[in-house]
Amino acid sequence: MGIEDQTDVEKSTEPPIRPHTLPVRYIKHLLLTSAEHGLTGAEAARRLEQDGPNRVEGVKELSVWKILLRQVSNSLTMVLILVMALSFAIKDFIEGGVIAAVILLNIVVGLIQDYRAEQAIQSLYALSAPTSKVIRSEHIESIRAESLVKGDIVVLNVGDIVPADLRLATALNLSTDEALLTGESMPISKKFEAVLQDAAYVPLGDRVNMVYSASTVTRGRATGIITAIGMDTEVGKIAELLRANPNANRNLSPLAAKWKRVKAGTRNILGLEGTPLQVKLSKFALLLFALAILLAIVVFSA
């Protein structure tokens, strides 16, 4: 399809749901683009206005006090605090002092680990290419990553940071480092001609015909069609899961929105948010906390 056909199309150019399962020619047809000519400047401007900038909104600024509060309000820590209080109440100062030291050590270690984890997450969001080489109107231009749109043809070389999620159109000995996304320590070899089966779920590391935002080119060169930008990229999806999304409360009544915030805060304090293992441990700690309170009632009522 030539570039002269693009400006005549006013409908939304929605990306394919699973671009790794489709041939390149279908991706180009769906996104109304040309691997040789790229988009026109006018069409790129229209899509930028329609879809917004290629930007991932990171998590909120790090707050040591919030991390500290999360550690202190941990269910297991609350159990230890209750046991410490009981020890001091029955004048067992040695046991109470030991438990206090354990609580302090647990809070300090947890604070350090959480702070480092938050820093690692923010560094992931900060990792983005300031500019990228893009084919537009048959010419290779250097364009700010925030101005890239779906359907843009990106040129990749060794050392480049991938600016968005791309379906490879061409590739020569291409490998990318996707450790930040997949945890894979070794670079992953890519093949643009591969068309994966339409399985229910194909892991990111197995999508050899795709390259993803924030990954780095370690070998070879390639061109790719942008299929997702900003919060629609895989990095954006991670960001969306990790940050509290304020848009979710826009359509709620003030009372319902307030109740939802209170509920979310309570779940965070009780440790009922996180990985399945963290939730199970928090539930077990809450059970211990309830048993400790019951035991305290029995002891002091006797």
* CB contact at 8 A, 215 and 180: yes
103/178 same-domain check: no
- Greatest Cα pair distance, the chain, in angstroms, is 88
34/136 same-domain check: yes
| Model confidence pLDDT, tens digit, residues 34-78 | 988 999 999 999 999 999 999 877 555 567 787 787 777 776 787
SS3 14: coil
Q: Is the pTM of this model over 0.85?
A: no
User: Within 10 A of 35 (CB to CB), how many other CB atoms are there?
Assistant: 16
Return d(Cα 267, Cα 273) in angstroms, integer: 6
The DSSP symbol for 3 reads: G
139/256 same-domain check: no
295/260 same-domain check: yes
Last residue of a domain, one of 204, 237, 270: 237
* Averaged pLDDT, 280-288: 74
Last residue of a domain, one of 237, 252, 267: 237
Q: Per the structure block, which two tokens stand in for 220?
A: 């070879």
Residue 54, burial from CB neighbour count under 10 angstroms (0-12, 13-18, 19+): buried
| Model confidence pLDDT, tens digit, residues 220-248 | 999 999 999 988 998 888 777 766 555 55
Range of the domain at 276: 64-124+244-301
Phi, psi of 259 (to 5 degrees): -60, -40
233/218 same-domain check: yes
At 262, which helix (H) or strand (E)? helix 254-269
138/219 same-domain check: yes
pLDDT for 3 = 41
8/116 same-domain check: no
The DSSP symbol for 248 reads: G
220/115 same-domain check: no
Domain containing 188 — which CATH number?
2.70.150.10
233/251 same-domain check: no
End-to-end CA distance of the chain: 86
Spatial neighbors of 70 by CB under 8 A, at least 6 apart, are 114, 268, 269
* CB contact at 8 A, 163 and 212: no
Q: Per the structure block, which two tokens stand in for 130?
A: 């300031």
213 phi-psi bin (left φ>0, alpha ψ -120 to 50, beta other)? beta
* Averaged pLDDT, 89-96: 85
Spatial neighbors of 195 by CB under 8 A, at least 6 apart, are 20, 21, 22, 23, 209
Return d(Cα 278, Cα 13) in angstroms, integer: 41
86/184 same-domain check: no
Residue 139: HSE in the Cβ half-sphere, 13 Å Cα cutoff: 6
Last residue of a domain, one of 202, 219, 237: 237
In the predicted model, is pLDDT for residue 168 greater than 90? yes
Distances (CA, A) of 142 to 63, 159, 170, 210: 37, 15, 19, 22
209/74 same-domain check: no
Domain count, the chain: 2
| Model confidence pLDDT, tens digit, residues 107-136 | 888 788 777 777 766 665 566 667 899 999
114/132 same-domain check: no
SS3 169: strand
